[in-house]
Amino acid sequence: MQHVILITVMLHLESPIDAKRWCADQRSQGQTLGFVPTMGALHKGHLSLVTRARAQNGICCASIFINPLQFEDHGDFDAYPRDTESDLALLEAQGCDMVFMGSLGEFFPEVSDLAKIDILPAGPHGSGLEEKFRPGHLDGVRTIVERLFRTVGPSSAYFGEKDFQQTLVVSDLAREMGYPNIVVCPTVREDSGLALSSRNVRLSPDEKNLAQQIYPALLAAREAWQSGERSPDRLSAAMTGHLNHDGLIVEYAEVRDPTHWTAQLPQTPLERAQALIAVRIGSVRLIDNLRLDQ
Ligand code: PAF
């Protein structure tokens, strides 16, 4: 008996113009396109998005572009991990059909001076928390994601829940554009509970030990919720109690009603709650979150 092994060869396109043409061609053939936007330095969290996009669509495509518009800190942009060769191999092994890259100028061909790109405001879900500590970050995300959606014209786009506020902002964008369907996928964690992040590779072993305090803090908030606590103040305090360590700087450890986003901490008891944390450990900034009422 003959065994046939099917090897999918991933197409690697260097420019958004080529990607746009290829995606339009796929759509004209009736294919559904599942899209995973990334900034590279891929880990199992990204690959879980590709697996989901692959399973739910005829075609799965991804982008790798480290978007300078969403880095308010140039040092963070420069230090962002880059490993294109490994990224391409991982995407291909995961069954991605096409990946594209591009430069800022190629994403905004109509702009002659890249300092003058029209930045789209993130909208109401961009206010508070991330905005306070990374002003302009979510505006930059919305601006590039809009271009990426216009390039691909996806049926569905896949985002990790770890970037919770980002998922709210891109869901607003998709609603306003009339597409795509946004699929928010669960955070992938190490056995220790630490959320996978491209930035984790920049942590020293000691710093990683500190980073591993984030998840227990989120679990403390969930435990408080399960014991009947509904006060936003006290749920937040349950987290900060766990984050009191030398070398770990808490930017925020707060709860929000995920269905009624507020820039500030809500003042009345919650019916639904999302606990959100951002910390700095050395030069690395990490974020994580957990739904408390599920
Ligand atoms: O989550 C990310 O990796 C980035 O914010 C995204 C969505 C690829 C936009 O640059």
209-239 residue pLDDT tens: 999 999 999 999 999 999 999 999 999 999 9
For residue 96, pLDDT over 60 is answered with yes
Q: How far is the CA of 60 from the centre of ligand 1 (A)?
A: 17
Whether 267 and 157 map to the same domain: the answer is no
pLDDT value of residue 182: 98
Q: How far is the CA of 36 from the centre of ligand 1 (A)?
A: 9
pLDDT value of residue 168: 98
Candidate of 64, 145, 147 to mutate for ligand 1, largest count of ligand atoms within 8 Å of Cβ: 145
pLDDT value of residue 5: 55
For residue 138, pLDDT over 70 is answered with yes
Whether 82 and 228 map to the same domain: the answer is no
Domain membership flag for residue 88? yes
Domain membership flag for residue 1? no
For residue 291, pLDDT over 70 is answered with yes
Stretch 258-270: mean pLDDT, rounded?
98
For residue 24, give its domain range. 11-185
Q: How far is the CA of 38 from the centre of ligand 1 (A)?
A: 5
203 lines ligand 1 (CB under 6 A): no
Ligand 1: nearest atom to the Cα of 63: 8
174-195 in b/e form (b: 16+ CB < 10 A) is beeeeebebbbbebbeeeeebb
SS3 of 50-99: the string is HHHHHHHCCEEEEEECCCHHHCCCHHHHHHCCCCHHHHHHHHHHCCCCEE
pTM for the model stands at 0.96
Q: Is 137 considered catalytic here?
A: no
For residue 1, pLDDT over 90 is answered with no
Whether 36 and 155 map to the same domain: the answer is yes
Whether 85 and 113 map to the same domain: the answer is yes
Whether 51 and 149 map to the same domain: the answer is yes
Q: Can you give the CATH number for the domain in which 28 is found?
A: 3.40.50.620
Catalytic choice (43, 46, 137, 242): 46
Domain membership flag for residue 191? no
Whether 56 and 31 map to the same domain: the answer is yes
Amino acid identity of residue 130, one-letter, is E
For atom 1 of ligand 1, which residue has the closest CA?
38
pLDDT value of residue 4: 55
Q: How far is the CA of 271 from the centre of ligand 1 (A)?
A: 30
| pLDDT band (50, 70, 90) for residue 3 | low
Whether 140 and 224 map to the same domain: the answer is no
